Each structure stands twice: as C-alpha cells, then as structure tokens.
Amino acid sequence: MEKTWILIANAERARCFERHAADHSLTELIDFVHPQASLEGQAGGGDLTGAAGKGHGRTGHAGTQFEPHTEAHAKERARFARELADYLNEGVAAQKCNALVLVASSPMLGEIRPCLSPAAEKAVTRSIAGDLTRYEGPELRARIDEALLRPD
C-alpha cells in the first residue's frame, strides 16, 4: 500500500501526516513546535521590558529604534528546517513512506529543500508554498486536497 507523508510547516510549527492512497485519510505522525520562533513573535508585543532590540527616546534622547538582529532568527529557522528534514530523511531511508509532499511557507520551503537527502529529494512529488499550520480536522484535509489538485 502506498503511503505519502505530507509535511506542513512554517517557522514556528510543523506537522507531518501520513496519507493513505486508498481513502486519502490523514494520520498525524508528529507535531513539531519551534519555541524560539514563538518567543521572537511575542517580543514585539505591548510590553517593551525585556524586548530585545527596542529602544525609544522618551528620556530626551534622539528617538532611535534598533531592530532585532535577523541573523539569529535565520539561524534558528535553519536549525528548525534541518530538524524537519532529518525526520523526513529518516522516514524515507527506513521506507516508512513512498512519497513526500511539502506544504510550507516560502522561507521554510527554501530552508528545508536543501537539507533533504538525495533519496528524500527524489521522493518529493509536490512542493507547495503555503501555510496550512493553523488548520485542523476536516478543514485541514480539505485544504490539503485543494492544494494537491492545483497544477504545478
């Protein structure tokens, strides 16, 4: 029986599903959460105490804002992408799936693809730029089906 693994991912979260050819049912295999990405997103909230990279000129100084150092964000995203690719590489090597479908935000898709082993890269049947991580249940399945029906 043919089994396809579908990875849906963004910089904060990723989920891998197994899709069975017979009935297109989805079984969630693993849920990855990247806590550093969540913390980065919260740093810009209303409380500026401890928000790295922010400064303001209410004390009579020239108003200057310093943006967070993006290199650290890129390194964390690359580390998370490597973790996801390792999981896919191991699944393909262990013959747990016959095909891979990647549905990820553009930045993550660009980070994951180069980390795939030659065997995993060969197993990729579709690579779709999009973020489906916030969907659950029947809506997620419908959106995956819709994405798979779109022409390349």
Q: What is the pLDDT of residues 78-118, one digit of tens each?
A: 999 999 999 999 999 999 999 999 999 999 999 999 999 99
CA distance between the termini of the chain: 25
Domain range for 18 is: 3-51+64-149
Mean pLDDT, residues 121-138: 93
Are the CB atoms for 35 and 14 separated by under 8 Å? no
Q: What is the pLDDT confidence band of residue 69, given thresholds at 50, 70 and 90?
A: low
pLDDT at 65 over 70: no
| pTM of the predicted model as reported, rounded to 2 decimal places | 0.75
For CA atoms 87, 7, 31, 105, give the dihedral sign.
positive
Alpha carbon distance 46, 24 (integer Å): 44
Q: What integer pLDDT is reported at residue 41 of this predicted model?
A: 45
pLDDT at site 39: 46
CATH code, 8: 3.30.420.60
Residue-level length of the chain: 152
CA 22, 25, 27: angle at the middle one, nearest 5?
Answer: 125
128 DSSP β-pair partners: 103
- CA atoms of 91 and 101, how far apart (whole Å): 13
What does DSSP say about strands 26-33 and 13-20: parallel, antiparallel, or unpaired? antiparallel
Share of the chain above pLDDT 70, in %: 75
- Residues contacting 24, CB < 8 A, separation 6+: 141, 145
44: tokens are 């810009």
Range 67-78 average pLDDT: 76
Strand order in the sheet with 124-129: 26-33, 13-20, 3-9, 99-104, 124-129
Mean pLDDT confidence for 4-16: 94
Whether residue 80 lies inside any domain: the answer is yes
Q: Count how many domains the chain has.
A: 1
